[in-house]
Amino acid sequence: MGVSDSVEDKEQENIQEEAEEAEEAEEAENPESIVDEENEPKENPRSEIEDNEPEQTSEPEDQPEEENESKELSPENQDWKEKYLRLSAEFDNYRKRTLKEKMELMKSAGEDIFLNILPVIDDFERGLQSINDAKDTKAVKEGVELIYNKFKEFINQRGVKEIDAKEKEFDTDLHEAVTKIPAPDKRLKGKVVDVIEKGYTLNDKVIRYAKVVIGE
């Protein structure tokens, strides 16, 4: 009984040794399989997510064409644009024309006035000539008065009026006090006693204050 057991054990050992030798021989023939199993990369969960993400396809760049299309005006807008440009040109011409007329008016503003003063100058020249030739002083005086009245009528027709100041209440809006003197009469206290230089208004606007003497 003891001999048979030892024989069986010996046979099992031989079988085991043969199996190990066969395994070693197989490993020796395929050494890469062991390395591949050890170095096999682990799965990356991030890579799986990236793989599952849909690929973004780049759309063709049609933006410049769209901009060009937007720049093209519709017929209605084009019509309004043409009307605007036409009105702008007309207004510019109107502005230039009125500016030119204004400048011409400024240059010739006094033409009418001087044209009407010329007859007065003619009268003065005739009066001076008559003074040299005249022996009657009365005729000379009448000639000067005629010229004076004619000139006053001329300025009155153009809105120039003489300020009536003598024996009137002193008014700073119309009068300029030159001096004060004792009033020759009680009723002239605070009033204009004498007029040194006449004042005038043009269309009710003072263009020259009357220089006056005030009684006190």
CATH number of residue 183's parent domain:
2.30.22.10
Say yes or no: 181 and 216 in one domain.
Answer: yes
The answer on 169 and 151 residing in a single domain is: no
- Is residue 144 helix, strand or coil? helix
Look at residues 140, 158, 176 and tell me which one is the last residue of a structural domain: 158
Query: Whose structure tokens read 């209440």?
Result: 169
Q: Are residues 166 and 214 in the same domain?
A: yes
Same domain, 138 and 116: yes
pLDDT at position 9 is: 62
* Boundary (domain end) residue, out of 141, 158, 175: 158
Q: Does 210 share its domain with 166?
A: yes
Q: Is there a domain that residue 59 lies in?
A: no
Tell me, what's the pLDDT at 3? 44
Do residues 166 and 216 both lie within one domain?
Answer: yes
Q: Which two tokens stand for residue 136?
A: 């009657």
186 shares its domain with 214: yes
Q: Helix, strand, coil proportions of the chain in percent (round to 5)?
A: 60, 15, 25
Asked if 146 and 175 sit in the same domain, the reply is no
Structure tokens at 158: 């153009």
Q: Which one-letter amino acid corresponds to residue 159?
A: G
What is the spatial distance between Cα 72 and Cα 66, in angstroms, rounded to a whole number?
10
End residue of a domain, out of 126, 143, 158 = 158
Structure confidence at residue 175 (pLDDT)? 95
Whether 132 is in a domain gets the answer yes
The residue range of the domain holding 184 is 162-216
- Same structural domain for residues 167 and 199? yes
* pLDDT score at 139: 79
In a domain, 121, yes or no: yes
| 171 and 128 in a common domain | no
Structural domain includes residue 41: no
Domain count, the chain: 2
pLDDT per residue rounded down to tens, the chain (216 residues): 444 455 556 666 667 777 677 666 666 555 554 444 445 555 554 555 455 555 555 555 555 555 554 567 788 888 888 889 999 999 999 999 999 888 887 776 677 777 778 888 888 888 777 777 767 778 778 888 888 888 888 888 888 999 999 999 999 999 999 999 998 888 999 999 999 999 999 888 999 999 999 998
| Within a domain: 136 | yes
**Structural domain includes residue 65:** no
Angstrom distance (rounded) from CA 137 to CA 142:
9
Question: Cα–Cα distances in Å, from 47 out to 35, 43, 53?
Answer: 24, 8, 10
| Domain shared by 133 and 166, yes or no | no
pLDDT of residue 161: 92
Decide if 189 is inside a domain. yes
Output the pLDDT for position 165: 92
Q: What residues pair up with 121 in beta bridges, in sequence order?
A: none
Do 151 and 201 have their domain in common?
no
Q: Is 216 part of any domain?
A: yes
